[in-house]
Amino acid sequence: MAQRNIFKTGAALILALAFFVTAPCSALAATPRVTSSAAILVDAGTGQVYFGKNERVRSEPASLTKIMTAVLALENGNLSDVVTVGGRAAAVEDGSIIELRKGDKIVLGELLKAALICSANDSTVAIAEHVGGNYNQFITMMNTKAAVLGMFGTRYANTNGFHDPNHYTTAYDLAVLTRYALGHPKFNELVQTREATVNWTEPAKTMDVGNTNRLLRGGYEGVDGVKTGTTAAAGNCLIASATQDGRRLIAVALNANDRYRDCINMFDYGFKVVKLVTVIMAGQNAASLAVDGGVNAEVGAVAEKNLEVCLDPADINGLRQQLELPEQVTAPVEAGQKLGELAYVLRDREVGRVNLVAGASVPKKSWARQFLDRFF
């Protein structure tokens, strides 16, 4: 049956939204000011995008690459495995390293710790060779995982983010990846660890390491991750997460003049400006739907439940309703029967969706009534 897909807005909708803002906004500020070439702010729980700047433009990820390396290690490796370091990992000398030597024996979990906390480039190569069987196979695994996650603007050529023309991503893809990675408890633990000790199995030695993310050291309330990245080509990059009042946000800043301030500004926007708004109440009529063969010609399509969305109150006027309903429904119709769905869209992004159900029962016409209606 054909479906209606309708966008609509009006004064009544706008007034209703303004009325249901749960708390007054202290500053209906413009979108956050960032110096980054590309940036994005998303809700870690829902994936809703609150702010974006060139978020789908191809960019270099630098050491933010290591998030994918870590995900594959967690999903395909055993963190208690003892890894024997090969020559390729031992040969890495650029950037942050833990000075692995060929033949060193170190537990995979310790390599992961070094990769995520102090951004050790040599540790990611050792991880790749152990988990993937060989380095190139691990790169294939990285690209396959990116495709599975819907990171269609991403391609990996290495495990650590060194410059390569075939190594790139987008701020949007990095937000998708980070949101996924934060679902792993061990990843969550490591990316908010300020300081740690990396332990070797053979030779027996240790190295104290510190997190490269300065926001973890009191830079912002509720910061709980995630990863820095820096190369000459990528510039200064940061993915940060913060949690306040039970809501976690992810901010991505790429090629920034001040990556920490950029993420703080995005967090301020997300926590202080963006508010929870009730856009439709349970039982509120959204549309009328024709009923074929019913004692009534139509039935109200009402919201199954209250729908709350987070948005900047300044964006209320730009919110659009998208009705997804068939052209008609056939009697009998039961009250509460699902008829379709209603989505709310802001700047081409869906921000919320609710089922539309029948507001009343519509019995089927008797055969006698149908006969009379047809011929008389």
Residues classed as catalytic: 63, 66, 119
**With b meaning 16 or more CB within 10 Å and e meaning fewer, what string describes 229-262?**
bbbeebbbbbbbbbbeeebbbbbbbbbbeebbeb
Query: Could you give the 3-state DSSP secondary structure of residue 127?
Result: helix
19-27, Cβ contacts within 8 angstroms, sequence gap of 24 or more? 20/277, 20/278, 20/279, 21/275, 21/277, 21/313, 22/275, 22/276, 22/277, 22/278, 23/275, 23/276, 25/272, 25/273, 25/275, 25/312, 25/313, 26/272, 27/272, 27/273
Judging by DSSP bridges, how do beta strands 338-346 and 320-326 pair with one another? antiparallel
